[in-house]
């Protein structure tokens, strides 16, 4: 079968290359791992057969990440950007309700997407999906320690394009020499060494542990017991933490779902997807909340008098709303001199907070801001729940002109260029446990 034609979707001015195979329903969008190049991947017989078999019971949607393959060569995207890209592709093909296939490094993005837009997701399939790449004391199942990772990154430019990792990702391949040559071309055509390093650094810094419990769509977790790239405990963690997830451990050690004999993976996916019921109206979503309030508002109101203070508040509100519109934030509530807004991505929320701080400074006002990402309850368009309380308490810890974020937010904005200063642990009133807080550094703005 010839490769499906490559088309392009506009994602905020960035051109994203995509292909469509099969007719469906359902729609399955593949959110893949590290390297993507639509045409070169199609050259591999095993990949091509796997796609054709998926497309036999679905409309399969494939796309290259921004900055890779046939998509526009721009900076490495954050999770926010990559969710935008997936939505742009879905909109380009007219898909309103899709199954997400999150593979390997594509797992965290697919989980955040499913938790943020449950109304757009029919089901979530996680195959060899990562939770956290870094091996740390509290996560011994990563791919490498930070020290080992830095050694790999230092060696990568010299090895890029040689395809030496082919035997690692495709063990037991019947044509190892030809496969190594193909894998080397995949490396070269997917990204430059510098772009590959930037992408791998972003992926290495992501930690999805705090958000997986916010996934409330039908979920199937598939993981091979001996997966030689992503440890089996990643799959077991997802099975425990995602409410109602179906978990199947499969034999074998191959990481890529299309390598080796993928019959068991295809059988599980077919049964799960074709038997899924219509999703109910979601009442819980993953959201990033931003709280702002004016520092010293009582004193300023006393100094200015009621009329002038009211006028200044109106100017403040207009300035904040301009930034919310600019960064696609949704105003949830305005009480006195404070705002509560929600965002579908944490990096955008931080950028909005920084811009808001600067915009009201010209009015002679200082605001503080707090950002947190967590599972929220939906009530008539309003947000409620513990995540909202945490966001408010984080904001309360911020100083004048400061944007303070929770560790959850810090872990999700890898690759954004944002830098943070550790503010240590804090007890947040009414919220259990200690919370690690970080101030957004002006150097990273």
CATH value at residue 407: 3.30.70.1230
pLDDT bracket for residue 166 (50, 70, 90)? confident
Say if 99 falls within a structural domain: yes
158's CB contacts (< 8 A; 6+ apart) are none
282: confidence class by pLDDT, cuts 50, 70, 90: low
Cα distance between the two ends of the chain: 48
Question: Is 400 part of any domain?
Answer: yes
Q: Is residue 279 part of a domain?
A: no
Report the percent of the chain where pLDDT is more than 90.
71
% of the chain surpassing 70 pLDDT: 97
Instruction: Provide the token pair at 182.
Output: 């193909």
State whether 236 and 313 are in the same domain: no
Quick one: pLDDT at residue 281?
Answer: 56
Residue 372 structure tokens = 């947190």
Same domain, 17 and 128: yes
User: Among residues 232, 251, 274, which one ends one of the domains?
Assistant: 274
Residue 276 predicted with pLDDT over 60: no
Asked if residue 1 belongs to a domain, the reply is no
Q: Could you report the per-residue pLDDT of 375-419, keeping only the tens digit for each?
A: 888 777 778 888 998 999 999 999 999 999 999 999 999 888 899
For the segment 262-291, the average pLDDT, to the nearest whole number, is: 81
Per the CB < 8 A criterion, the answer to whether 198 and 204 are in contact is no
CA distances from 51 to 38, 173, 174 (A): 12, 18, 20
Distance separating alpha carbons of residues 38 and 422, to the nearest angstrom: 41
For residue 44, CA distances in Å to 181, 225, 257 come to 12, 25, 13
Residue 277, pLDDT above cutoff 80: no
For 419, which DSSP code? Answer: -
Q: Rounded to whole angstroms, how far apart are CA atoms 307 and 80?
A: 41
266 and 299 fall within a common domain:
no
Q: How many CA atoms lie within 13 A of 296 on its CB side?
A: 10
Q: What is the b/e burial string over 132-149, where b = at least 16 CB atoms within 10 angstroms of the residue's CB?
A: bbbbeeebebbbeeeeeb
Boundary of a domain, candidates 244, 274, 304 = 274
Is residue 430 included in any domain, yes or no? yes
Which value, in Å, is the radius of gyration of the alpha carbons in the chain? 23
- Shared domain check, 139 and 74: yes
Q: Which of 274, 309, 343 is the last residue of a domain?
A: 274
Residue 24's pLDDT band, with cuts at 50, 70 and 90, is confident
Q: Quick check: 366 and 294 in contact, CB under 8 A?
A: yes
Query: Are residues 222 and 75 located together in one domain of the fold?
Result: yes
Do 257 and 338 share a domain, yes or no? Answer: no
- Shared domain for 229 and 300, answered yes or no, is no
- Judge whether residue 283 has pLDDT over 80: no
Contact of 274 with 280, CB cutoff 8 Å: no
Helix segments in 242-305, DSSP class H: 263-274, 297-304
Please give the mean pLDDT across all residues of the chain: 90
Say what the pLDDT of residue 128 is: 95
Mean pLDDT, residues 121-131 taken together = 96
Residues in CB range of 228: below 8 A, 6 or more apart: 168, 171, 253, 254, 255
Same domain, 342 and 410: yes
With respect to residue 165, please indicate whether it lies within any of the assigned structural domains: yes
- 291 and 267 both lie in a single domain: no
Q: Which residues of 45-75 are buried (b: 16+ CB within 10 A; e: fewer)?
A: ebbbebbebbbebbbbbbbbbbbbbbbbeee
If one counts the domains in the chain, the total is 2
- 3-state secondary structure at position 295: coil
Residue 260 confidence (pLDDT) above 90: no
| Residue 2 counted as domain residue | no
Domain assignment of residue 202, yes or no: yes
Report the C-alpha gap between 245 and 248 in whole angstroms. Answer: 10
Same domain, 305 and 178: no
CATH code for the domain of 183: 3.40.50.1820
Pairs from 271-278 (Cβ < 8 Å, separation ≥ 24): 272/123, 272/125, 272/218, 272/220, 272/246, 273/26, 273/28, 273/57, 273/58, 273/99, 273/122, 273/123, 273/125, 274/26, 274/57, 276/26, 276/99, 276/122, 276/123, 276/218, 277/218
Could you tell me if 347 and 78 are in contact, meaning their C-beta atoms sit under 8 angstroms apart?
A: yes
Q: Are residues 267 and 354 in the same domain?
A: no
The model's pLDDT over 177-219, given as tens digits with 9 standing for 90+, comes to: 888 999 999 999 999 999 999 999 989 999 999 999 999 999 9
Note the pLDDT tens digit of each residue in 46-70: 899 999 999 999 999 999 999 999 9
User: What was the pLDDT predicted at 445?
Assistant: 45
Domain carrying residue 137:
7-274
From CA 12, how far away is CA 405, in angstroms rounded? 26
Which residues, including other chains, have CB under 8 Å from residue 134's CB and lie 6 or more apart?
A: 142, 143, 144, 145, 146, 149, 204, 205, 207
- Residue-wise pLDDT for 338-360, tens only, equals 899 999 889 999 999 999 999 99
State whether 343 and 379 are in the same domain: yes
Q: Which residue has the tokens 């999770």?
A: 79
80 is written with which tokens? 């926010």
């Amino acid at each position: 079968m010839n490769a499906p034609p490559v088309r392009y979707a506009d994602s905020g001015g960035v051109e994203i290359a995509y292909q469509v195979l099969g007719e469906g329903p359902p729609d399955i969008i593949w959110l893949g791992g590290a390297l993507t190049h639509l045409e070169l991947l199609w050259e591999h017989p095993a990949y091509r057969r796997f796609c054709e078999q998926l497309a036999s019971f679905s409309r399969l949607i494939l796309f290259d990440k921004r900055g890779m393959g046939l998509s526009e060569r721009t900076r490495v995207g954050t999770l926010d950007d990559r969710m935008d890209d997936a939505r742009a592709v879905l909109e380009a093909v007219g898909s309103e309700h899709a199954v997400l296939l999150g593979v390997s490094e594509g797992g965290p993005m697919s989980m955040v997407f499913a938790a943020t837009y449950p109304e757009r997701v029919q089901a979530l399939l996680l195959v060899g999906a990562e939770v956290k790449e870094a091996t740390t004391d509290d996560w011994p199942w990563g791919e490498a320690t930070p020290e080992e990772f830095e050694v790999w990154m230092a060696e990568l430019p010299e090895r890029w394009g040689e395809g030496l990792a082919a035997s690692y990702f495709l063990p037991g391949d019947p044509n190892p020499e030809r496969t190594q040559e193909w894998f080397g071309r995949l490396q070269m055509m997917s990204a430059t060494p510098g772009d590959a390093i930037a992408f791998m650094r972003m992926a290495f810094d992501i930690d999805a542990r705090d958000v997986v419990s916010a996934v409330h769509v039908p979920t199937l977790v598939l993981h091979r017991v001996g997966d030689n790239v992503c440890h089996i405990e990643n799959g077991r963690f997802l099975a425990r933490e995602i409410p109602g997830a179906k978990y199947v451990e499969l034999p074998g050690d191959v990481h890529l779902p299309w390598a080796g004999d993928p019959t068991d993976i295809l059988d599980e996916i077919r049964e799960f997807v074709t038997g899924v019921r219509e999703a109910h109206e979601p009442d819980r979503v993953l959201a990033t909340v931003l709280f702002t309030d004016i520092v010293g508002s009582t004193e300023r109101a006393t100094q200015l008098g009621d009329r002038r203070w009211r006028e200044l508040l109106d100017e403040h509100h207009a300035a904040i709303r301009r930034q919310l519109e600019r960064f696609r934030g949704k105003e949830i509530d305005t009480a006195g001199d404070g705002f509560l807004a929600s965002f579908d991505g944490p990096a955008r929320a931080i950028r909005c907070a920084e811009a808001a701080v600067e915009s009201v400074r010209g009015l002679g006002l200082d605001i503080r801001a707090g950002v947190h990402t967590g599972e929220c309850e939906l009530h008539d368009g309003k947000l409620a729940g513990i995540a909202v309380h945490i966001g408010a308490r984080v904001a309360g810890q911020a100083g004048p002109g400061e944007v303070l974020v929770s560790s959850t937010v810090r872990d999700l904005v890898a690759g954004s260029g944002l830098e943070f200063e550790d503010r240590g642990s804090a007890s947040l009133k009414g919220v259990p446990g200690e919370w690690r807080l970080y101030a957004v550094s002006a150097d990273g703005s």
